[in-house]
Amino acid sequence: MDIKIKIEKLKVAFGKNEILKGISADVFKNQITGFMGPAGSGKSTLISVINRMIDFEDHVAIAGKVYIDGEDILGEEIDDVQLRRRVGTVFAVPIPLPRSIFENVAYGPRLQGISDRIKIREIVRDSLKKAFLWDEVKDRMNTSALKLSGGQQQRLCLARTLALVPEIILLDEPCSGLDPISTAKIEEALDELKKDYTIILVSNNTKQIARITDFVSFFYMGDLIEYGPTERVFTNPSIKQTEDYIQGKFG
Amino acid sequence: MRINPRIVDAAAKVGLSGQAFFTVGILIVIVAIICVKGLPYVNMEFIVSSPEDMGRHGGIFSAIIGTGLLAFLSILFATPLGVGTAIFLTEYTKESAFTKMIRFGVESLAGIPSILYGLFGFIFFVIKLGMGWSLLAGVLTMTIMILPTIIRTSEEAIKSVPRNLRIVSYSLSATKWETVTKVVLPAAAPGILTGIMLSVGRAVGETAAVIFTMGSSLRLPTSLMDSGRTMAVHFYILAREGISMEKAYATALVLVFSILFINVIAYYIMNKVTSRYS
């Protein structure tokens, strides 16, 4: 398996508060990698380093390296806007832009300078299909995205990210506010998508992690406690803390 | 003894609705008086013909044009300046001593009486820069005068756009400028428009600052360097000099209804434009 993202001794601190205390891990291409751990363990912070959204936070100190395809993305010469075309993000709370369903998905492609109507329509349709939303919205593409249900909005956000044609998709607890049916649809979509993308899924839901990830890493208090193939970690965790977490003894 | 909360509740309802009716009532009385006193003298002829004999006869065509030009041009200058400043303060700077200083300056400018703006405009534009009493001097003075309002309301409107929308836009590979123009400004547009409409009201209703800078010529202004008269100034002079109270009230009536008209049109257009962004 090819390594897509290589994280080396990554440390992140907000002011004096150390959130990540020297993480090293490889994320493999075309796999779903889960980041699990209790709140405040640093998993979302790690996501925000990979997509460089952490640039928008104040008083951040970062040390260590993160490579995507061997390229150091924390380097000065990296264009963060270009990076975010390669690394798409879906956030915990679905946040549609206040415009139509169509325009939400078309937002990214238009920013990339694609103006051909037929091409845009094609991208929008394909992205919505991949996110398992097309059938539900194809007849009302011009209605406001804010009128969709929570589950639909989250799939719209996924479609919007897919429309960027990224290489990596980061999902930060994408199902935390969704009902089981919507969650199942998102999981179904992710399982299809891993053929073409490298996916990182942050989740507090250990069952979801067990269901759909290929690899899993367990974070606790800013440390990476355990990392390995999901099946192995869940059936035979090598560290007591991981076992306790999986069994729901804390979290 | 504790008063029954239901009675308090009922009393509050009566009290508050009384206050609301009182406020609206005053407005209605004012408009009614202007209508009663002015309506008999307003007709098409009054609107399309120019004043004669100091305004004792004829209409107010030149004053309508003067008002329109002054308001339109001041808004045209002040809006990009003011909205630009607001964007800079909210999106492009972190809170610092520098932004606090700018904000303090803006707040102070907003509190200055208009006659001081008029005096400044007179000394600087009319005398120092040699513009004379002219539409241009009036417009520049008015621009400075309404800037604080536009900056403050725009800033509030921009600040009230949820941070999440910006984050989403960035995550979809937008630059700061793209985020500002495609997400922030459309969401803030209704608030910004409110500031612009307040400014239109100020420009249209202003007398002191206008007399000092634009003068009060009754002729139709045909260039930026011409003096001219706005409806508010016309009304003021007609009433003050005792030239014609009938014409004064008729002017006031046209003034009130033109502000109403501008508001309706502006919000109609805004609804059309922003319906794409909801």
Across the interface, whether the CB atoms of B173 and A98 are under 8 A apart is answered no
Tell me the CATH number at A196: 3.40.50.300
Q: Is the pLDDT of residue A243 over 70?
A: yes
Interior/surface letters B242-273, b for 16+ CB within 10 angstroms, e for the rest: ebbeebbbbbbbbbbebbeebeeeeeeebeee
Q: What is the pLDDT of residues B31-87, one digit of tens each?
A: 999 999 999 999 998 999 988 888 888 889 999 999 999 999 999 999 999 999 999
What is the arithmetic mean of pLDDT over A24-29? Answer: 94
By C-alpha distance, the chain B residue nearest A110 is B174
User: Which one of B171, B172, B278 has the shortest CB-CB distance to A98?
Assistant: B278
Yes or no, beta carbons of B172 and A108 under 8 Å apart: yes
Residue B139 in this model has a pLDDT that exceeds 70: yes
Other CB atoms within 10 A of residue B63 CB: 26
Domain range for B100: 44-277
Q: Is A97 an 8 Å CB contact of chain B?
A: yes
Backbone angles phi, psi at A129, to 5 degrees: -65, -45
Residues B146, B16, single domain; the answer is: no
- The amino acid sitting at A212 is I
For residue B182, list chain A residues with Cβ-Cβ distance below 8 A: 107
Asked if A175 and A186 count as a contact pair (C-beta separation under 8 A), the reply is: yes
Say yes or no: B231 and B168 in one domain: yes
Specify the DSSP element, H or E, that contains A9.
Answer: strand A3-14
**Are residue B59 and residue B179 in the same domain, yes or no?**
yes
Task: Work out the pLDDT band at A58, boundaries 50, 70, 90.
Answer: confident
- The pLDDT assigned to B266 comes to 87
Q: How far is CA A166 from CA A10, A70, A71, A200, B63, in A?
A: 23, 17, 16, 13, 61
8 A C-beta contact, residue A71 and residue A46: no
**Chain B closest-CA separation from residue A5 CA (Å):** 18
**B66 and B29 housed in the same domain:** no
Q: Are residues B89 and B141 in the same domain?
A: yes
Q: How far apart are CA A165 and CA A162, in angstroms?
A: 5
Q: Do B173 and A58 touch (CB under 8 A)?
A: no
Which residues in chain B are contacts of A58 at CB distance < 8 A? 94
d(CA B38, CA B240): 17
Per-residue pLDDT of A176-220, as tens digits, reads 878 888 889 889 989 999 999 999 999 988 999 999 999 999 999
Q: Do B187 and A81 touch (CB under 8 A)?
A: no
* Phi, psi of A195, deg, nearest 5: -60, -40
Local structure of A74: helix, strand or coil: coil
Please indicate, yes or no, if residue A137 is contained in any of the structural domains.
no
> Minimal Cα–Cα distance from A135 to chain B, Å?
22
Residue B242 has pLDDT above 80, yes or no: yes
Tokens (6 digits) for B135: 């539409």
The C-alpha of A80 sits at a distance from chain B's nearest C-alpha, in angstroms, of 8
A122 found inside a domain? no
User: For residue B21, what pLDDT is reported?
Assistant: 96
Same domain (yes/no): B71, B13:
no
Question: CA–CA separation, B183 vs B177, rounded Å?
Answer: 10
Average of pLDDT values for B118-143? 95
Report DSSP state, residue B3: P
Question: Against a cut of 0.90, is the pTM above it?
Answer: no
Tell me the chain A residues in contact with residue B173 when contact means C-beta distances shorter than 8 Å. Answer: 81-82, 84-85, 108, 111-112, 164
The answer to whether residue A157 sits within a structural domain is no
Is residue A132, in this structure, part of any structural domain at all?
no
**What does the pLDDT look like over A74-124, one tens digit per residue?**
988 889 999 999 999 999 899 999 999 999 999 999 999 998 999 999 999
ipTM, 2 dp:
0.91
How many CB pairs below 8 Å do chains A and B form together? 61
Domain that holds residue A88: 3-93+165-246
Which CATH number does the domain housing residue B243 bear? 1.10.3720.10
Q: How confident is the model at residue B274 (pLDDT cuts 50, 70, 90)?
A: confident
Which of B161, B163, B168 is the best mutation test for A, with the most CBs of A within 10 A?
B168
Pair B94, B126 in one domain:
yes
Report yes or no on A24 lying in a domain: yes
Instruction: For residue A222, tell me if it sits in a domain.
Output: yes
Q: Please report residues of A whose CB lies closer than 8 A to that of B167.
A: 53, 56, 91, 95
Q: How far is CA B254 from CA A126, A237, B35, B261, in A?
A: 57, 82, 10, 10
Residue A144 DSSP code: B
pLDDT digits (tens, 9 = 90+) for B83-121: 999 999 999 988 889 889 988 999 999 889 999 999 999
**With bands split at pLDDT 50, 70 and 90, how would you rate the model's confidence at B127?**
very high
Q: Does pLDDT of A72 surpass 90?
A: yes
Examine the domain organization and report whether B218 and B82 are in the same domain: yes
The predicted pLDDT at position B54 comes to 86
Judge contact between A190 and A201, C-beta under 8 A: yes
A144/B278 Cβ within 8 A: yes
Could you give the CA distance from residue B175 to residue B87 in angstroms, rounded to a whole number? Answer: 15
Mean pLDDT, residues B235-241: 92
Q: How close does chain A come to B261, measured CA to CA in Å?
A: 29
A115 within a domain of the structure (yes/no): no
Mean pLDDT in residue range B245-257: 93
Q: How many whole angstroms separate alpha carbon A61 and alpha carbon A132?
A: 39
| Contacts A51 to B, Cβ<8 Å | 171
Residue pair B216/B230 in contact (Cβ under 8 Å)? The answer is no
Q: Average pLDDT, stretch B115-139?
A: 95
Q: Which residues of A84-122 are buried (b: 16+ CB within 10 A; e: fewer)?
A: bbbbbbbbbebbbbbbbbbbbbbbbbbbeeeeeeeebee
Residue B247: half-sphere exposure toward Cβ, Cα within 13 Å: 30
Q: Residue B270 pLDDT more than 90?
A: no
Q: How far is A139 from chain B (nearest CA, A)?
A: 18
Residue B130 phi, psi (nearest 5)? 65, 30
pLDDT band at A251 (very low <50, low <70, confident <90, very high): low
Within a domain: A108: no
* Residues B127, B209 within the same domain: yes
Overall number of domains in chain A: 1
d(C-alpha B142, C-alpha B150), whole Å = 12
The number of beta carbons lying within 10 Å of the beta carbon of residue B238 is 24
Read off the pLDDT of residues A124-175 as tens digits, 9 standing for 90 and up: 999 999 999 999 999 999 999 999 999 899 999 999 999 999 999 999 998 8
Domain count, chain B: 2
Q: Which residue has the tokens 């011009």?
A: A142
Q: What is the mean pLDDT of residues A220-248?
A: 91
Closest CA to A38 of A212, A201, A166, A220: A220
pLDDT band at B155 (very low <50, low <70, confident <90, very high): very high
Helix, strand, or coil here: A36?
Answer: strand
In 3D, which of B238, B200, B201 has the Cα closest to residue B216? B238
Of B173, B186, B278, the CB nearest to A111: B173
Over range B220-224, report the average pLDDT: 91
Is the CB of A91 less than 8 angstroms away from the CB of B178? Answer: no
Can you tell me the distance from the alpha carbon of B16 to that of B18, in angstroms, rounded to the nearest whole number?
Answer: 5
